């Protein structure tokens, strides 16, 4: 554990509590504090209309005296009714009155409006990233087991095509030492697609995990009844999640449905993970040759799949 990690964690807590206004005297411009609002919520959410006070305290991990003062105030304001348990006279049970349910419903509406305003100020992509990050925080700090990440394939949105070029250039430079010629080639492919693609024959996909883009693939017309698979890549952090397989599968499905008779692709022998995906999808090596490219001596390969 580093000092930086602790500082970042505490910094986020300060930011978020300020953002949603929990330090104000009244939460969401209401007469209730955060703790009081949470008590109202738990009482309203209880499966039975009556809730054991000890169970409420345990669920909220709240000091017994503090909770008793809150419930006393609520009782005085006509928001709750306390009764002795029929099963055990030592225990108290509590329920919301109609006035209490009305107060809690108003808090719910204000909270929904606040959340909608905050989420409405960010893009769809950032919203998906945000919700995914919140889910990760809840799972990790809650001690739960993370569920398998959800892989979503979608069409490119604003800024995505530039992102494809940038990530290809950066990724292949880092992993294989390829020079700027490769990024320039990717930029030309993407520009041609942006300028002249025909949705009947051409398609592109962005893969997302937890709302964050992690991969891409393109299907373009190579000529006649032949499709071409291009620009498959998966971010290192998303490898092993089945992203590449999903992308190739979707690309092949589209090409077959569009009426192409076969599909070709160009790759290099050092890209072993991609080659395995192509082989699994039914592509076969057509021919290969060794020649310089991107600052290296590479084996260039052409693969084909017949539908």
Per-residue pLDDT of the chain (307 residues; tens, 9 = 90+): 789 889 999 999 999 999 998 888 888 989 999 999 999 999 998 876 788 888 899 989 999 999 999 999 999 999 999 888 776 767 788 999 999 999 999 999 999 999 999 999 988 767 877 877 787 788 778 876 656 677 889 999 999 999 999 999 999 999 999 999 999 999 999 999 999 999 999 999 999 987 789 999 999 999 999 999 999 999 999 998 999 999 999 999 999 999 999 999 999 999 999 999 999 999 999 999 999 999 999 999 999 999 9
Largest distance between two CA atoms of the chain: 88
Q: What is the CATH number of domain 3-121?
A: 1.10.10.10
* Count of positions (residues) in the chain: 307
Quick one: pLDDT at residue 137?
Answer: 82
The strand order across the sheet containing 80-84 reads 51-52, 92-96, 80-84
Which of helix, strand or coil describes residue 234? strand
At residue 146, the pLDDT reads 58
β-strands 151-154, 203-209 pairing: antiparallel
Q: What is the DSSP pairing of strand 226-234 with strand 212-223?
A: antiparallel
Residue 247 neighbours by CB distance under 10 Å: 26
How many other CB atoms are found less than 10 A from the CB of residue 258?
A: 17
CB contact at 8 A, 272 and 264? no
How far, CA to CA in Å, does 77 sit from each of 10, 40, 64, 73, 250? Answer: 36, 13, 20, 6, 60
Residue 146 Cα to chain centre, angstroms: 13
DSSP 9: H
Long-range CB contacts (< 8 A, 24+ apart) of 282-289? 282/252
Q: What is the pTM of this model?
A: 0.60
Query: Domain spanning 151-306: which CATH class is it, in words?
Result: alpha beta
β-strand partners of 223: 226
- What are the structural domain ranges in the chain? 3-121, 151-306
Q: Using an 8 Å Cβ cutoff, are 301 and 288 in contact? A: yes
Q: Rg for the chain (alpha carbons), in Å?
A: 28
pLDDT at 23: 85
Cα separation of the two ends of the chain:
54
Task: Using alpha carbons, select from 130, 210, 204 the residue that is nearest to residue 165.
Answer: 204
H helices, E strands: number in the chain: 10, 10
pLDDT of residue 89: 66
Cα three-residue angle 274-278-282, rounded to 5 degrees: 165
Other CB atoms within 10 Å distance of the CB of residue 295: 14
């Amino acid at each position: 554990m580093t000092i930086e990690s602790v500082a970042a964690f505490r910094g986020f807590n300060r930011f978020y509590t300020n953002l949603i206004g929990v330090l104000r005297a009244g939460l969401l411009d209401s007469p209730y504090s955060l703790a009081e609002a949470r008590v109202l919520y738990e009482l309203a959410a209880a499966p039975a209309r009556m809730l054991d006070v000890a169970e409420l305290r345990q669920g909220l991990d709240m000091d017994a005296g503090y909770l008793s003062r809150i419930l006393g105030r609520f009782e005085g304001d006509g928001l709750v009714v306390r009764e002795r348990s029929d099963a055990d006279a030592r225990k108290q049970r509590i329920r919301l009155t109609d006035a209490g349910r009305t107060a809690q419903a108003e808090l719910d509406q204000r909270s929904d409006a606040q959340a909608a305003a905050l989420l409405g100020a960010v893009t769809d992509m950032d919203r998906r990233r945000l919700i995914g990050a919140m889910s990760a925080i809840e799972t990790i700090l809650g001690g739960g087991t993370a569920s398998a990440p959800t892989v979503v394939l979608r069409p490119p949105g604003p800024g995505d095509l530039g992102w494809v070029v940038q990530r290809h250039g950066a990724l292949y430079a880092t992993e294989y030492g390829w020079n700027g010629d490769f990024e320039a080639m990717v930029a030309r492919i993407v520009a041609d697609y942006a300028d002249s693609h025909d949705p009947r024959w051409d398609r592109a996909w962005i893969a997302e995990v937890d709302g964050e883009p992690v991969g891409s693939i393109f299907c373009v017309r190579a000529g006649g009844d032949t499709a071409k698979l291009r620009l498959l890549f998966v971010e290192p952090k998303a490898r092993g999640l089945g992203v590449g397989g999903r992308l190739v599968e979707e690309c092949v499905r589209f090409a077959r449905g569009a009426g192409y008779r076969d599909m070709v692709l160009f790759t290099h022998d050092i890209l072993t993970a991609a080659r395995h995906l192509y082989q699994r999808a039914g592509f076969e090596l057509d021919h290969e040759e060794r020649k310089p490219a991107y600052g290296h001596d590479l084996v260039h390969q052409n693969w084909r799949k017949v539908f």
